[in-house]
């Protein structure tokens, strides 16, 4: 490949977000978040723990929330990539946790993760 063209391809690749989560739209994600609100809220611990501050939080670490032993012992920090895997299939990422809800659409996952980031 000519050097010039290679540079252009590299520059384009750099401009494309590395993960689906980075490409999400927070405004659309706020609408998608309605799907989460059966169990979650930004600031209330309900059926699931509150979401404010989730990106960067240690999994299973909200004080006073009754997590499954599986999630309490998960031992990872929530990143966009892990949230994407979690929403794809939470039972696959952390077998035995309490959440069965899957969000199958990658674009919706990206959008809702973008929204979750705004809650930090």
Partner 1 sequence: MTENTMTRVPARRSLLSGGGKAILSASAIALLGGHELLAAKLAHAADPKKDVQILNTARGLELEGINVYQIAAESGLVTPDTLKVAVYFQSQHRDHAETLAETIRKLGGRPVDPKSKDEYAKVVTAAAPKNEADVLRLASKLEKGAANAYLGTIQSLTDPALSLICARIAADEVMHFTALTLTLKEALPPRSMSFGA
Residue closest to 109 by CA, chosen among 3, 32, 7, 27: 32
Stretch that binds partner 1, among 12-20, 27-35, 51-59, 77-85 (CB under 8 A): 27-35
* Beta carbon nearer to partner 1, 18 or 47: 47
DSSP letter, residue 21:
G
The least CB distance from residue 61 to partner 1, in Å, is: 19
The least CB distance from residue 45 to partner 1, in Å, is: 8
64 belongs to the binding site for partner 1 (CB under 8 A) = no
Of 10, 47, 58, 77, the residue at the interface with partner 1 (CB under 8 A) is 47
What b/e readout covers 4-22, taking b as 16+ CB neighbours within 10 angstroms?
eeeeeeeeeeeeeeeebbe
Q: Which residue has the tokens 């946790």?
A: 97
* Strand intervals (E) in the chain: none
The site for partner 1 (CB under 8 A) is made up of 32, 34-39, 41, 43-44, 46-48, 68, 89-91, 95-105, 108
């Amino acid at each position: 490949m000519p050097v010039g063209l290679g540079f252009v391809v590299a520059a384009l690749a750099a401009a494309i977000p590395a993960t689906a989560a980075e490409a999400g739209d927070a405004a659309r994600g706020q609408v998608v978040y309605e799907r989460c609100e059966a169990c979650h809220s930004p600031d209330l611990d309900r059926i699931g723990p509150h979401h404010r501050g989730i990106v960067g939080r240690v999994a299973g670490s909200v004080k006073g929330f009754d997590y499954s032993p599986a999630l309490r012992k998960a031992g990872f920090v929530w990143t966009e990539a892990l949230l994407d895997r979690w929403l794809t299939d939470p039972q696959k990422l952390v077998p035995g946790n309490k959440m069965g809800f899957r969000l199958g659409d990658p674009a919706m996952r990206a959008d809702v993760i973008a929204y979750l980031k705004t809650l930090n």
